[in-house]
Each structure stands twice: as C-alpha cells, then as structure tokens.
Amino acid sequence: MAIASVLAIDAARWRDCRPYVLAVALYLCSRLVVLLAIWFAGNYLPLWKSDLWQSGAHWYDHLLRWDSEWYTGIVEHGYHYDGDPNELQPVVFYPLYPLLSRAVAWITGIGSPLALLIVANVSAVLAMLLLCKLARRSFGDDVAVLSVALLSFYPGSLFLSAGYTEPLALLLILSCFAFLNDRRYLFASVTAGLALVTRSVGIALMPALLWELWFKFRTDRGRLLLYAIACMAIASAGLAIYMVYLGVAFGHPLAFADAQAAFHGETSLGGRLVAALTLQPFLHLRFDDLSPAGLDQWFFILLLVLTLAASRRLPGAQVLFGLGALLVPYLTLSGGPAGFTSMTRFGVLAFPAFIMLANVCRSLPWLGLAVIGLFAAMLGLHSALFAQWYWVG
C-alpha cells in the first residue's frame, strides 16, 4: 500500500509538471532552429556590410545585432544626449534591461555583450513557463503546451534569444498577469512598472490593472479608488524615475520620446500618431512583398485579428493588454516612414494572440502542425538574415 501511495503521488506530480517540461523542451527545440540558422549564415552568407559593428567573434555574437549595439554602449558607457532630437541618441532605449545586464557583467566579470544575452535568455525560459501556467489556467494542458510551441517557433521569437528587451519585457508582463490571477495587485503593479521601464508597451498593462481592480472592488468605490491610485502610482514610478534622471542629467525629461524622431526619418511623435490614427500605414500595404520585412504587416494584422477573437474566450484584462501590445507600437511608430517595420518582433509580446491560436489549433491538429512547421521555416530564415545584418527585425 505504501509503495502504491508513493507511486500515485509521483504520478500526480508528473502530471502537474509534464506541461512545463514539454514547454521548456519545445522552446529549446525552437532555439536549435535559431542556432542552425546562425551556423548556416556564418558559413555561407556574407555580412551585409563589412564595416558594421561587431561585439566579438564568438558564435553567439551573431545574436547581437542592430539595437544590441545601443544596449552594449549603454551598459559600458551609460546614456548621453546632446539635445538634438534628429540625431540618433541612446536615451530612446529604456533603462532596465541594460541596468540588469550591467549588474550581471559586474557580478560575474563577463563582458557586457554576453551579459545582455544571459539576461535575455534566462528571461525567455522563465517567460515560457509563465505562459504555460497562464494558458493552462484558462484552457488546460494541451492549449498551454501548444501556446508555448506557437510562440517559440514564431519568427519574431528570434528576439527572445537576441540581445533585445523583448524577453525581459515578456517575463515581466506575464509575471504581472500571474500576480493578477492571485489578486496580488501591488505585486502586479510593481511588475507592470518594471515592464514599462523596459519597453514602452508596458503602459498597456495599466488598463489591464484597472480592469481587474474594477471587477474586484466595483461594489466598494472607496477601496477601488484607493487601489487604483496606489497601483497606477507604482506602475508609473519606474518611468517617472527615468524622466527625472533625464531632466537632471540632460535638462529634458521627455528626451526618450522626442529623440525617437531620428529613428523615424525626423518624424515627430505627434506626426506619427496622427498618421497612424488616420490609417495612413494601411494605404501603403505591399501585397506582393513576401520578404521578412514585407511580412511585418501581415503578422500585425494576423495577431490583431486573433486578439480581437480572443475577447470571448480570454480574461478581459489579457485581451486589453494584447490589443495594447499591438496598438502602442502601431500608434507611436508605424506612422513614420518605416510603416509596419518591426511588427513581427513587437508581436512577440502579444501573448493572448498565441493562446487564442493554440485554442483554435487544439481541435485541428493538422493546422497546428502546419502553422508550427511554417513558423519554424520562417524562424530559420529570419535568424539567418538577422545574423548577417540583412534584416533589422
């Protein structure tokens, strides 16, 4: 009887752990696709230009491209700003990711480029576990594992391994929802604030917080107001501190927003916003462009449709965030000359869309396999092009 009890307990523990083990295994399989693509690119694809910045000669340095140069500079030299919003400036890159990477480099003694990758990749694995937990809560084991698989092989998931902010932002965003599920609103606010000081899309967590607070305290307006004020103050504190730093150091608290103009053809934030609101980016859709850059527009539309479809299946707070995760970059960036560029990367944070897609594919296994196979092929292509500077992401 004792042996049977032990075996029953072990079996129950395995059933509980099995989705998480599968989630990590699937994510690691997707990283093999990235690594194989990097190996292929390094051996058979020349650099786009020979004079581009290189962080080193190791294989993992192929994951440090484009924005990684800016983050490396911030880790090693800090911020600078000369007051000209039409000149490329590091202040547009939010501080939490380079700060954590700098701490890792200081504690371990490793170089800053490797520290950037360590923070990113550890964050990504933890994020996959949290995604599995959130999806499992709403739909069960099958959808949870499939959600992780779809996000892991999604072409933009390359940036969960690269020296970019997406992995850390995704971890903090999912942590916020995990705390919301447990009704630990102050902890959720802290993670929301950390997400906002990692990427601007963290601001989309504020409506999600207010939504949850409304349903919890709608019959007690006094507590609702108290919690709302406290949570919003905490959630915005990180960005407020960064603005104070910019004001003290450079005399311009909004330098992080104004300096974006240089990255968008000297188009101001107001100009980009007006163009986005008037749907001008949709007037320039390139129906015949199947390059990685051309696919940005279609991934944006696909993820937006999936998120809207999730409104009847997922918690309202998650749907609100999913819409915000897509609309914040659309409203602040797409109105510039770049249009939908980088929307494949930004879509990595719109996790409700992947849960919804997994729910659709659960009853259509052939569709799930087809989508994952197509995603995997595109992930390999995107990784190879990114590794040699052909694709900005």
- Domain definitions of the chain by residue range: 22-387
Per-residue tokens: 119: 């923070």
- One-letter amino acid at 73 equals G
Crossing angle (nearest 10°) for helices 205-217 and 316-329: 160
Cβ-contact 317, 208 below 8 angstroms = yes
DSSP code for 268 = -
Return the H-helix or E-strand segment holding 169.
Answer: helix 166-181
Q: End-to-end alpha-carbon separation of the chain, Å?
A: 58
Residue 118 CB coordination number (10 Å): 18
pLDDT of residue 8: 53
Query: Is 0.85 surpassed by the pTM of this model?
Result: yes
pLDDT, residue 7, reads 46
Q: What is the mean pLDDT of each run of 10 residues along the chain (393 residues)?
A: 54 78 97 97 90 87 95 96 91 97 96 97 98 94 97 98 98 98 96 97 97 92 94 96 96 93 85 90 83 91 96 94 96 87 96 97 94 97 96 85
- Say how far apart CA 268 and CA 257 lie, in whole Å: 9
The total number of residues shown for the chain amounts to: 393
pLDDT at residue number 109:
95
pLDDT for the residue numbered 10: 63
| Rounded distance between C-alpha atoms, residue 145 and residue 255, angstroms | 42
Rounded to the nearest angstrom, the gap between the alpha carbon of residue 169 and the centroid of all alpha carbons in its chain is 5
The reported pLDDT for the residue numbered 12 is 65
